[in-house]
Amino acid sequence: MSKILTTIALIGGGVMPLFVDISVYHLLNPDWDSHARLHEAWRLSTNFCIFGLAIYLLWAKQKEILSAILSICIHFGFVIAAIFMPLYGGTAVGTGIIEPYILGIPFNVVFFTSMFTIQLIALVLAIRGNDTKGDIL
């Protein structure tokens, strides 16, 4: 079960943003500073590389815990960015962007918080199911 949950979280953090964020709302947004677009391209490519490595480690090398930790790095990065938005003037939804809300919370916040939670659950399951007692990574 932990492998399936980790796979879902990795797809949610490493693949789905490519389809959503390579658009005029993020990477191709003409209102964004060119340097901000560089950072967005960097985030997208880094998260996709982490996804690829973690999927390989998870399914080819049976490294469930290491894969889960890599996935947590993607999702915890979002959590940190969201928590510290007031310090750098960030917002969960950009000006002019149509974003669905769930119970008054922007969908992206709900989605990435859910992916983070799913990944934490998967990590706990992987640790509990680990028989090696030594080399857990």
User: What per-residue confidence (pLDDT) applies to 130?
Assistant: 78
What share of residues in the chain are helix, strand, coil (percent, to 5)? Answer: 65, 5, 30
| pLDDT, tens digit, 9 for 90 and up, residues 50-86 | 999 999 999 999 999 999 999 999 999 999 999 999 9
User: What per-residue confidence (pLDDT) applies to 99?
Assistant: 86
On average, the pLDDT of the chain sits at 93
Q: At what angle do helices 64-83 and 2-14 cross, to 10 degrees?
A: 40
